[in-house]
Structure 1
Amino acid sequence: MSVRIVEGRATDANNGEVVVFMIGMRIHRWRALRQWWPAFTAMPGMLKELAADPNSGVAGFRLMIGGGLREITLVQYWKDTDRLLAYAAAADQQHRPAWQAFNQRARASATRGHKPAMGIWHETYAVPAGRHETVYVNMPPYGLGQAFGTQPVAARGERAAQRLGQAEDR
């Protein structure tokens, strides 16, 4: 499978708000499969659900594995916070039932005196229009560029300060 390289300098094509939502898990005890496997397998269904709905607000995502394969991080790019929060709270979507089931398993495990088999985390960054900056040099579409498309750097400014909406430094 060939990868399309965007030659030269490019930046993402999004001029509006962007929300970067990072969510991850860390497996503490591999053998406690019943504790961490349901959370691990819930995410692909949620991503499929989001990708199938053009109005979901998710623009793209990237999965990363590290920490000796114990740490899984999913970076999601959203068009706005309203749709991210709506998805998280929607009873008829996959996230809320999965979150409730995770909490029930975690409480039951703690009640039995078991050490946590896994941990989860998330971070949300809501970036106003004109307040983010990207540059890609001889790269395939990546990150915000993959989520929103790319354009020549000159379209948003040759320097990082320009792309961030800052006054040009000396």
Structure 2
Amino acid sequence: MVTRTTADAQGDVVVLLIGMRINRFWAVHQWLPVMLAMLRMLRELEKDPGRGLLSKVLLTESPRSYYVVQYWESKEKLYAYATAPDAFHHKAWALLNRKERNGKLRGRVGIWHETYVVPEGSYEAIYGDMPAYGLAAAHGQVPLEKRGRYARDRFAHRSGKAPAAEKTG
């Protein structure tokens, strides 16, 4: 019997895609610190769940391209982490900017990120015989029937929870 589930997300969903591309394999001394910094930030966030990272998935697109899909509690918590002077991100970003200004990274390693706030009713998920993964790992997993058998039903589901932008602090 196939067990089908869906993510138990309520309200808006905040997704950060962040990654790097190795442009010059021989420049290990330039791209390896970037990769290690990302792993260190993820460990820091796992140790302090109050910062707002709910879940992450590490992926590779090719031998030269790596990225992380991150699910956050809110865009406010994501921004707070990104700008917190006590967080490793602050130190890593300052160092990266310095190297970029000095031309040390140019052409050797590329970095990128995209952030999305996905309103409720604009996402849906289905998992067949899967442990909690992706959105379900971030927000929990429920039987498919709870949200609807068809994608249109899951898109139409409303939790009654206010969107993240309307929450008060």
Q: Same fold (TM over 0.5)?
A: yes
- What is the number of equivalent residue pairs in this alignment? 157
Question: Aligned partner of 1:38: which letter?
Answer: P
Counterpart of 1:54 in structure 2 is 49
What's the counterpart of residue 167 of structure 2? none
Q: Note the C-alpha offset of 1:139.
A: 1.5
Q: 2:91 maps to which residue?
A: 97
Alpha-carbon contact 1:17-1:79 (below 8 Å) kept: no
Alpha-carbon spacing, 1:145–1:101, altered in 2? closer, same or farther (3 Å)? same
Residue 146 of structure 1, CA deviation: 1.6
The answer to whether the aligner puts 1:63 opposite 2:58 as a matched pair is: yes
Q: Deviating runs (4+, > 3 A) in structure 1? A: none
Equivalences for residues 87-166 of structure 1 within 5 A = 87-109=81-103, 115-165=106-156
Q: Distance in 2 between matches of 1:137 and 1:35?
A: 41
Structure 1: 5+ residue stretches without partners: 1-6
Segments of structure 2 that go 5 or more residues without pairing to the other structure are 158-169
SS in 2 for 1:55: helix
Identity, % of aligned pairs?
A: 42
SS at 1:158's partner residue? coil
Q: 1-side partners of 2:61 and 2:96: how far apart?
A: 22
> Contact (CA 8 Å) 2:5, 2:127: kept in 1 or not?
yes
Query: With structure 1 as the length reference, what TM-score do the two structures score?
Result: 0.85
Counterpart selection for 1:26 from 5, 21, 24? 21
Cα separation, partners in 2 of 1:142 and 1:31, compared to 1, 3 Å? same
Please list the CA deviations of residues 26-61 of structure 1 after superposition, one character each: whole Å capped at 9, or x if unmatched: 001011122212111101111111111121111100
Amino acid corresponding to residue 152 of structure 2 in structure 1 = A
Task: Give the secondary structure class of the aligned counterpart of 1:139.
Answer: coil
Q: CA deviation at 1:87?
A: 0.5
CA distance in 2, matches of 1:133, 1:94: 33
**Mapped partners of 1:115, 1:144: distance in 2:** 34
State the Cα distance separating 1:129 from its structure 2 match: 3.0
Deviations 1:14-34 (A, max 9, x none): 222211100010001011122
- The 2-side partners of 1:88 and 1:143 are apart by 22
Partner amino acid, structure 2, of 1:56: R
Shift of 1:115: 4.7
What is the DSSP-based 3-state SS (H/G/I as helix, E as strand, rest coil) of the residue aligned with 2:51? coil
Amino acid at match of 1:91: P
Aligned mates of 2:152, 2:129 — CA distance in 1:
21
